[in-house]
A = this chain, B = another copy of it.
């Protein structure tokens, strides 16, 4: 499944076996985000993680920074 681009953001929902698997994934995304100094707007309920990416410094539009982070996040889950 690919990311959806709408309202100037990329979004995607990831689903896991349970909460701890979801949170371990979030931990890996957190490392990527912190390294890129580009942080997601994200939420979690039990085994679901919804990630939204936009670039605040570019008037909240989708930029190359978002596409790069999206690709790196997909690589974790793969």
A27 CB contacts on chain B under 8 angstroms:
20, 23-24, 27
A26 CB contacts on chain B under 8 angstroms:
26
Majority DSSP secondary structure for residues of A touching B: helix
With beta carbons under 8 angstroms apart, the residue of B25, B31, B39, B40 that contacts A34 is B31
A: which residues have CB within 8 A of B? 19-21, 23-28, 30-35, 39-46
A45 to B46, CA, bound (A): 18
* Shortest Cβ gap from A65 to chain B (Å): 14
Assess the A44–B42 pair: CB atoms within 8 A: yes
Assess the B43–A43 pair: CB atoms within 8 A: yes
* Shortest Cβ gap from A9 to chain B (Å): 12
